[in-house]
């Protein structure tokens, strides 16, 4: 567990840029609550970045983390982090070096960025994290779309070198980028008058994302001594970094690629091809290639190349050192060289015509060379004092593992790398740019860092360039400003170039004081609002809010010291223009208490403005939650067959988090949570008759609660009743069908819809079934039986009707069973009993029985033949004046 | 529920139940199977094919008959083989064999649901012996086995016997005895007696020219109740052509009802062909019997 936090203290100065990448909002604070009565901001619009957030820790927890004792004294803290799914965390504002003291004075060292699964919703994580001892605040990270995606180039989001907020990886350092977004926004995206010669492999001049910013007519192939430039991966990649067309909806963005959507072209590229991806005869004149740019309008020369002294074990250190030393010599005498002449020529004559008059945007040129990728102390010709040597960093904010650098132990070659820029690091993230064939790819190297520096130079010349602007002015801005986050101390690769810093070099960027601070209280939450201030074009980087209950203490508070219970809170203003309204909400304050506020703006180097006036506001009393039913709930009653549906909206008038519980009154209730309360379904059949009371209790986070009793009565269930009996049913032909409307025979005093069941003792004789309250009967074959129809209500109470059925399709009379053992039944097709005569004679004609009986289809006559000897008899049955004969066998 | 329904059915049926009086079992053993005697009202007591005591005075005879029995009732088809044989001057034997195939009747279960059909059948076999003590007095006995199959798996058996004394003087004959004494038929726990009776018979033969008249009369008093009586006459021409008529009376539990009969016969070199026809009874009316025999 210690390892998790080992790295969090190793960060270097990241204070200011980190401030730019977070944007606390009112909604963010509200999300700390347990549960909102209204949908969260995340659910509404997805304004937060998934999987990351900032938390504010108490001093004791921070102390244990910094002392590395979290696994012992604060084991519960670590365990809690793991339990809620936090995979890692690090300081939001990394160690700030010389500025660390004032960073800590503001409590900014207590902000930590946590990383967790993006599938976990922000409000859920807020609830979980708030329960961890030592966590004082949870702050979602708001998506900064305004500054994050300035152009519509689809892969701009992958170009971390332009904007690195640290959210892509816990290993990345927020602010470890070129700081170019503000320049694009407030200053320039490039100017076609600024021409950059790319001394490199050939550039794919017709690349879909480059062609608008290249000058094919001035480009030249110094290998083939031809105007025909052959595209190479390296040269195309470098050119794309400098001037891939911006905002054209295609591919990537370039540092000085203009704004195609606005019709503003970027800086122009001249490809001076000195390398080829294919084996070719002859060698190029690098010297002439450098000079070519100066003679064809270029004022900047990008040289992402150096001398090859071998790789790995074959690296010729002696020759590298020797050559390094040679290029340290002045360009005269033993130090004289053609390349130095070319560089000097470019520096002196670029931007000038043959008569020495300035015709370009800058008088004189600047040559940029990559420092080399050997991880050595030497790098020629980059170390020639006449050029700007560029080292590389990765997104982690430190020297890339391959970048050549100065020897700290040899004063003569300690500081030969002049400046650093983003070159990528395969251990963390590489640089995405253009490649031949209208493709794109990622490279790393000082070759990539160099065009980023050239690109910043191109932007600077685009904005500041013009008559009187000299190379010295450009170099002063570039070499004397730096990225405020990536300090690169003791890494011997110069300062990290930052475009915004270079553009604002020498200016007082302290924002003006806030003059319209206002405060509004809602319950124990206070919302501050004020207009964003700034300096020149640049808005304030952020604001520090001082607040407390002691007005005098608030007035006396300074960024360095805030006593008397005054609290400080820092926020960034990224994405907001000067004059736009900025709001901040402070919750969890004491109720009915006066609070005093003032704000101070600051720029990127924490230079504070004057304080605003102190404004006061009195917080309000806490109001309990409200529970509002969807309809009046007085005198609720329902029958057992009914289902009553209600809903309850639970709201918190103060906007506090609220939890609610239900105490059911009976088993008939089904409570389901909704977004804003509960839905209730009461099924009368699921409980006995009686009066019940369910209770809803809503409690806000300050334990103010409301209850609502829902009383209802389940009425007595009267069983179904028989209205009229069902006549016996006689069928005289097969497949004869009969139907009965059962509602004519059954009713429910409660008005309840009834369900019906049928039982049939002679299913082979007749089929009986019920559908939709209709009894359907179909005769199959001769026989008789009984049918029972049962009507049942929802609670299972029932009433039944039984009737007889008979199917008689043969003779009008029938004697059965046959053979008979004792009783012989005589039936007929008559619904009511009829008189029948019966004569039985033996097989020899002797009369053995003669009598008169009475029977019907459902009440057959019975003749006891138990006294009759076994044998075959002839029966003659008389009915209604007709006689019917049947053989009857006695067993 | 089913139990209640059954109880309901029983309750409905019981109020109209009646009872029948006991009847004799296996009545078919009293069926007259000769085309000659059946034409004479069933007066068979002096027939050598029926009474072994008559054989020593009548000579030998064997006959086969076919009966379409009781078209208005049982509608059975009967096949009968009978014979009487004189052995020497005083001893005689006779036999009988009969098979009756009844018409199919429908089967119904206890709820009146039709199931299938079944054809009943009857079997009768017997033999007897007669002995003349003198020229005018003889005795005869026989034993018969009777079986009736009325349904699948329901057959009833019995053994019955007859015993007669016979007196004959010139054209006058008289006999007396008991008929169909035998084992009862059991059905369930009940036993049913055979149609046994005390029987007497009288006869008188009168010859004139080429013609001859023969009169016969029987009377039965049945032990199960009822009386039966038969009266018949025959006119013969040259002992070749015969005309017959008769009447039968049946009362009470007598196995045969009241009916009338007529018949014809021809005889040549001992071979005789005879037919009879019954009438005057709804059940036995239209009963037809045809026989062929040989008298020697």
Q: What is the pLDDT of residues B126-136, one digit of tens each?
A: 999 999 999 89
Q: What is the mean pLDDT of residues A129-146?
A: 68
- Residues in A closer than 8 angstroms to B120, CB to CB, are 872, 889
Residue B187 binned pLDDT confidence (cut-offs 50, 70, 90): confident
Listing DSSP states for A330-393 in one string gives: -SSGGG--HHHHHHHHHHHHTTB-TTS-B-SSSBS-EEEEE--SSSSS--TTTTSTTSEEEEEE
A767 min Cα distance to partner chain B (Å): 15
Residue A6 confidence class, pLDDT cut points 50, 70, 90:
very low
Chain B residues whose beta carbon lies within 8 Å of the beta carbon of residue A817: 108-110, 112
The whole-number average pLDDT for the span B30-34 is 91
**Chain A (798-857) residues lying within 8 Å, Cβ to Cβ, of chain B:** 802, 806, 808, 810, 814-819, 821, 823, 825, 827, 833, 840-849, 851, 853-855
Write out chain A residues lying below 8 Å of B101, CB-based: none
Residue A483 pLDDT more than 70? yes
pLDDT value of position A147: 40
**Are residues B156 and A870, on separate chains, in Cβ contact within 8 Å?**
yes
Q: Does the pLDDT of residue A510 top 90, yes or no?
A: no
What's the rounded Cα separation, in Å, for the pair B260 and B281? 8
Instruction: Tell me if chain A has a CB within 8 Å of the CB of B10.
Output: no
Q: What is the pLDDT of residue A74?
A: 47
Chain A residue nearest residue B191, CA to CA: A869
Contact A774, A826 (CB under 8 A): no
Judge whether residue A630 has pLDDT over 80. yes
β-pair partners for B272: B267, B293
* Cα–Cα distance measured from residue B230 to residue B41, given in angstroms and rounded to the nearest whole number: 5
Taking the Cβ of residue A354 and every Cβ of chain B, the question of whether any pair is shorter than 8 Å is answered with no
Average pLDDT over residues A431-435: 97
Helices (H), A109-253: 122-130, 145-148, 181-186, 233-243
Of A783, A802, A889, the CB nearest to B112: A783
Q: Are A55 and A135 in contact (CB under 8 A)?
A: yes
What kind and span of H or E run contains B63?
strand B61-69
- Using one digit for the tens of pLDDT, what is the confidence trace for A153-175? 999 999 999 988 777 787 888 88
Q: Do A783 and B120 touch (CB under 8 A)?
A: no
Tokens coding A163: 């904007």
Q: Do A786 and B8 touch (CB under 8 A)?
A: yes
CA angle, A706 then A712 then A716, to 5°: 165
* Per-residue model confidence (pLDDT) at position B286: 95
pLDDT tens-place string over residues A820-848 = 999 999 999 888 899 999 999 999 998 88
Q: CA-CA distances (angstroms) from residue B122 to A152, A875, B186, B285?
A: 111, 19, 17, 21
Tell me the ipTM for this assembly.
Answer: 0.89
Among residues 744-773 of chain A, which lie with CB inside 8 Å of chain B?
A: 759, 761-762, 764-765
CB contact under 8 A, A869 and B120: no
Q: Output the pLDDT for position A826.
A: 94
DSSP state of A13: S
pLDDT at B22 over 70: no
Tell me which residue of B172, B171, B173, B177 sits closest to B139, measured CA to CA.
Answer: B177
Q: Do B112 and A759 touch (CB under 8 A)?
A: no
A591: phi then psi, degrees, rounded to nearest 5: -80, 145
Percent of all residues in chain A with a pLDDT value above 90, rounded to a whole number = 62
Q: What's the confidence (pLDDT) of residue B253?
A: 85
DSSP-derived secondary structure for B180-215? EEEPPEEETTEEE----EEEEEEEEEEEETTEEEEE
The reply to whether B14 touches chain A by the CB within 8 Å rule is yes
Q: What is the mean pLDDT of residues A195-201?
A: 97
State the Cα angle at A740 between A736 and A741, rounded to 5°.
150
What is the rounded radius of gyration, in angstroms, for the C-alpha atoms of chain B? 21
Looking at the complex, report in whole angstroms how far the Cα of residue A866 sits from the nearest Cα belonging to chain B.
7
Is it the case that residue A462 has pLDDT exceeding 60?
Answer: yes
Q: How far apart are CA B291 and CA B264, in angstroms?
A: 11
Chain A contact for B269 (CB, 8 A cutoff): no
- Compute the C-alpha angle A813/A818/A824, nearest 5°: 65
- Give the residue from chain A lying closest to B119, CA to CA: A872
Inter-chain contact A821–B188, Cβ cutoff 8 Å?
yes
Query: Would an 8 Å CB–CB cutoff place B106 in contact with chain A?
Result: yes
Q: What is the pLDDT of residues B92-113, one digit of tens each?
A: 999 999 999 999 999 998 888 8
Quick one: tokens of A220?
């030249």
Name the more confident of A742 and B225. A742
Q: Is the pLDDT of residue A201 over 90?
A: yes
CA contacts within 13 A on the Cβ side of A206: 4
Q: CA nearest A872 in B: which residue?
A: B150
First to last CA, chain B: 74
The CA-atom distances, in angstroms, between B124 and each of A581, B30, B41, B130 are 127, 11, 21, 20
Cα gap A57→A831, rounded to integer Å: 95
Evaluated on CA atoms B56, B59, B62, B66, the torsion sign reads negative
* Sign of the torsion formed by the C-alpha atoms of B199, B200, B206 and B207: positive
B137-161 average pLDDT score: 94
Kindly report the backbone phi and psi dihedral angles of residue A569, in degrees, each rounded to the nearest multiple of 5, phi listed first.
-140, 135
Q: Can you give the pLDDT at residue B5?
A: 38
Q: Cα–Cα distance between A555 and A566 in angstroms, integer?
A: 10
Query: Above 60 in pLDDT, residue A144?
Result: no
Greater model confidence, A814 or A149? A814
Q: What band does B19 get if pLDDT is binned at 50, 70 and 90? A: very low
User: A458-489 burial, b for 16+ CB within 10 Å, e for fewer?
Assistant: bbbbbbbbeeebebebbbebbbebbbbbbbbe
Check if B99 contacts A (Cβ < 8 Å): no
Identify the CA nearest to B260 among candidates B236, B278, B238, B239.
B278
Q: Residue A788 and residue B1: Cβ atoms within 8 Å?
A: yes
Q: What is the mean pLDDT of residues A506-517?
A: 89
Beta strands in A202-348 (DSSP E): 220-221, 258-259, 264-265, 268-275, 298-303
**Residues A543-558 pLDDT 10s:** 889 999 999 999 999 9
Q: Which residues of A touch B155 (CB under 8 A)?
A: none
Please check the confidence at residue B234 and state whether its pLDDT lies above 50: yes
Cβ distance of A843 and B74 shorter than 8 Å? yes
Task: Give the distance from residue B6's alpha carbon to the nearest chain A alpha carbon, in angstroms.
Answer: 9
Q: Highest mean pLDDT: which of A91-100, A143-152, A585-594? A: A585-594
Mean pLDDT of B46-50: 85
Report the side by side order of strands in the sheet with A677-683. Answer: A626-629, A643-651, A677-683, A669-674
The pLDDT tens digits for A359-398 are 999 999 999 999 999 999 999 999 999 999 999 999 999 9
Helix locations, A814-891, DSSP H? none
pLDDT digits (tens, 9 = 90+) for B272-284: 999 999 999 989 9
Distance from C-alpha of B243 to C-alpha of B275, rounded to nearest angstrom? 10
Q: Where are the alpha helices (DSSP H) in A94-232?
A: 100-105, 122-130, 145-148, 181-186
Pick the residue with more confidence: A851 or A41?
A851
Cβ of B257 under 8 Å from any chain A Cβ? Answer: yes
Which residues, 6+ apart, have CB-to-CB distance to A698 below 8 Å?
A624, A625, A626, A627, A650, A652, A658, A659, A660, A705, A706, A707
Mean residue pLDDT across chain B: 88
Residue to test with chain A: of B10, B67, B108, most A Cβ within 10 A: B108
What lies within 8 Å, CB to CB, of A596 at 6+ separation is A547, A548, A549, A550, A551, A554, A555, A614, A615, A616
Q: Is the dihedral of CA A128, A130, A134, A136 positive or negative?
A: positive
Residue A541 has which token pair? Answer: 């980087």
Torsion of CA A851, A856, A857, A861, to 10 degrees: -40
Confidence of residue A738 (pLDDT cuts 50, 70, 90): very high
Q: What is the pLDDT of residues A403-426, one digit of tens each?
A: 999 999 988 888 999 999 999 999
Place of tokens 């006036």: A613
Angle at A293 between CA A289 and CA A294, to 5 degrees: 120
**Is-contact A653 A626, C-beta < 8 A?**
yes
Residue A37 has pLDDT above 60, yes or no: no
Q: Which of A762, A843, A846 is closest, CB to CB, to B253?
A: A846
Q: Is B1 on the interface with A (CB under 8 A)?
A: yes
Considering the entire predicted model, what is its pTM? Answer: 0.48
Residue B36's nearest CA partner among B293, B218, B226, B296 is: B293
> Does residue B242 sit at the A interface (CB-CB below 8 Å)?
no
Q: DSSP class of residue A120? A: S
Chain A residues with CB under 8 Å of B113 CB are: 762, 764-765, 781-784
- Looking at residue B14, what is its pLDDT? 32
**Partners of B289 in the beta sheet?**
B67, B276
């Amino acid at each position: 567990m210690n390892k998790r936090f080992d790295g969090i203290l190793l960060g270097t100065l990241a204070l200011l840029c980190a401030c730019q990448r977070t944007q606390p909002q009112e909604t963010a604070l509200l999300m700390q609550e347990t549960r909102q009565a209204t949908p969260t901001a995340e659910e509404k619009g997805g304004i937060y970045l998934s999987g990351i957030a900032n938390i504010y820790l108490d001093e004791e927890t921070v102390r244990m983390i910094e002392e590395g004792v979290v696994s012992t004294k604060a084991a519960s803290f670590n365990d809690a982090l793991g339990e809620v799914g936090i995979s890692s965390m690090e300081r939001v504002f990394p160690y700030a070096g010389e500025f660390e003291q004032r960073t800590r004075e503001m409590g900014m060292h207590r902000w930590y960025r946590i990383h967790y699964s993006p599938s976990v919703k922000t409000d859920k994580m807020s609830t979980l994290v708030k329960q961890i001892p030592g966590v004082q605040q949870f702050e979602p990270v708001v998506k900064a779309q305004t500054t994050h995606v300035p152009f519509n180039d689809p892969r701009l989001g992958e170009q971390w070198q332009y904007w690195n907020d640290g959210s892509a990886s816990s290993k990345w350092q927020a602010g470890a980028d070129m700081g170019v977004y503000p320049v694009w926004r407030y200053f320039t995206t490039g100017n076609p008058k600024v021409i950059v010669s790319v001394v490199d492999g050939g550039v794919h001049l017709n690349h879909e994302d480059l062609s608008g910013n290249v000058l094919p007519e001035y480009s030249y192939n110094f290998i083939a001594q031809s105007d025909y430039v052959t595209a190479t991966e390296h040269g195309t990649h470098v050119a794309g970094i400098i001037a891939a067309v911006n905002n054209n909806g295609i591919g990537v963005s370039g540092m000085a690629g203009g704004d195609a959507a606005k019709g503003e072209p970027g800086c122009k590229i001249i490809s001076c091809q000195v390398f080829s991806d294919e084996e070719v005869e002859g060698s190029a004149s690098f010297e002439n290639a450098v000079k070519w740019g100066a003679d064809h309008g270029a004022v900047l020369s990008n040289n992402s190349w150096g001398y090859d002294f071998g790789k790995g074990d074959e690296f010729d250190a002696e020759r590298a050192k020797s050559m390094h030393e040679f290029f340290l010599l002045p360009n005269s005498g033993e130090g004289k060289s053609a390349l130095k002449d070319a560089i000097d020529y470019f520096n002196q004559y670029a931007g000038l015509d043959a008569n020495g008059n300035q015709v370009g945007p800058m008088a004189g040129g600047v040559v940029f060379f990559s420092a080399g990728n050997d991880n050595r102390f030497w790098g020629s010709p980059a170390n020639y004092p006449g050029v700007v040597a560029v080292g590389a960093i990765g997104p982690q904010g430190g020297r890339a593992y391959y970048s050549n650098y100065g020897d700290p132990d040899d004063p003569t070659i300690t500081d030969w790398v002049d400046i650093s820029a983003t070159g990528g690091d395969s251990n963390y993230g590489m640089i995405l740019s253009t490649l031949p064939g209208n493709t794109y790819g990622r490279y790393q190297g000082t070759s990539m860092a160099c065009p980023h520096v050239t690109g910043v130079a191109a932007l600077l010349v685009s904005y500041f360039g013009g008559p009187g602007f000299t190379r010295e002015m450009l170099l002063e801005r570039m070499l004397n400003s730096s990225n405020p986050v990536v300090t690169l101390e003791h890494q011997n690769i110069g300062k990290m170039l930052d475009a915004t810093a270079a553009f604002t070099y020498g200016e007082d960027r302290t924002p003006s004081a806030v003059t319209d601070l206002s405060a509004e209280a809602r319950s124990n939450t206070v919302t501050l609002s004020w207009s964003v201030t700034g300096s020149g074009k640049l808005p304030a980087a952020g604001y520090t809010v001082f607040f407390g209950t002691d007005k005098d203490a608030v007035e006396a508070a300074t960024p360095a010291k805030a006593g008397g219970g005054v609290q400080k809170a820092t926020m960034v203003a990224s994405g907001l223009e000067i004059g736009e309204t900025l709001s901040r909400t402070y919750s969890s304050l004491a109720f009915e208490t006066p609070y005093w506020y003032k704000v101070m703006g600051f720029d990127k180097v924490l230079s504070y403005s004057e304080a605003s006036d102190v404004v006061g506001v009195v917080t309000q009393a806490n109001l309990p939650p409200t529970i509002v039913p969807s309809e009046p709930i007085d005198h609720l009653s329902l029958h057992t067959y009914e289902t009553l549906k209600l809903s309850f909206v639970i709201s918190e008038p103060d906007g506090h988090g609220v939890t609610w519980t239900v105490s059911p009154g009976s088993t008939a209730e089904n409570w389901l949570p909704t977004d804003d309360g509960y839905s209730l379904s009461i099924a009368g059949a699921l409980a006995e008759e009686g009066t019940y009371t369910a209770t809803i209790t809503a409690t806000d986070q300050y334990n103010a609660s409301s209850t609502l009793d829902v009383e209802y009565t389940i009425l007595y269930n009267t069983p179904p009743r028989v209205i009229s009996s069902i006549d016996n049913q006689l069928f005289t032909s097969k497949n004869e069908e009969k139907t009965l409307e059962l509602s004519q025979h059954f009713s429910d005093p409660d008005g309840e819809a009834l369900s019906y069941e049928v039982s049939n003792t002679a299913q082979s004789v007749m089929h009986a079934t019920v559908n939709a309250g209709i009894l359907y009967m179909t005769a199959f074959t001769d026989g008789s039986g009984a049918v029972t129809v049962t009507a049942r209500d929802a609670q299972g109470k029932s009433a039944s009707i039984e009737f007889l059925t008979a199917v008689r399709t043969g003779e009008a009379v029938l004697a059965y069973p046959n053979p008979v053992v004792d009783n012989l039944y005589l039936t007929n097709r008559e619904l009511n009993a009829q008189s029948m005569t019966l004569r039985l004679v033996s097989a020899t004609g002797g009369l053995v029985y003669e009598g008169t009986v009475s029977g019907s289809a459902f009440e057959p006559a019975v003749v006891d033949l138990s006294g009759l000897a076994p044998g075959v008899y002839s029966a003659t049955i008389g009915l209604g004046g007709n006689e019917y004969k049947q053989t009857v066998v006695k067993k | 529920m089913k139990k209640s329904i059954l109880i309901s059915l029983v309750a409905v049926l019981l109020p109209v139940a009646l009872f029948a009086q006991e009847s004799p079992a296996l009545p078919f053993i009293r069926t007259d199977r000769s085309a000659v005697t059946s034409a004479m009202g069933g007066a068979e007591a002096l027939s050598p094919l029926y009474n072994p005591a008559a054989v020593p005075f009548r000579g030998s005879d064997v006959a086969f008959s076919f009966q379409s029995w009781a078209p208005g009732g049982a509608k059975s088809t009967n096949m009968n083989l009978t014979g009487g044989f004189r052995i020497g001057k005083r001893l005689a034997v006779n036999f009988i064999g009969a098979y009756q195939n009844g018409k199919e009747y429908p089967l119904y279960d206890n709820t009146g649901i039709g199931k299938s059909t079944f054809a009943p059948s009857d079997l009768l076999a017997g033999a007897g012996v007669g002995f003349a003590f003198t020229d005018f007095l003889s005795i005869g006995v026989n034993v018969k086995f009777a079986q009736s199959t009325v349904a699948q798996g329901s057959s009833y058996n019995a053994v019955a016997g007859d015993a007669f004394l016979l007196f004959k003087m010139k054209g006058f004959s008289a006999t007396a005895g008991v008929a169909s004494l035998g084992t009862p038929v059991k059905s369930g726990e009940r036993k049913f007696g055979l149609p046994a009776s005390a029987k007497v018979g009288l006869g008188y033969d009168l010859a004139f020219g080429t013609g001859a008249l023969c009169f016969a009369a029987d009377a039965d008093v049945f032990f199960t109740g009822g009386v039966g009586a038969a009266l018949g006459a025959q006119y013969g021409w040259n002992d070749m052509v015969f005309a017959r008529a008769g009447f039968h009376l049946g009362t009470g539990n007598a196995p045969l009802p009241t009916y009338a009969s007529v018949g014809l016969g021809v005889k040549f070199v001992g071979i005789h062909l005879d037919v009879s026809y019954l009438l005057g009874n709804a059940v036995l009316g239209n009963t037809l019997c045809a026989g062929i025999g040989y008298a020697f």
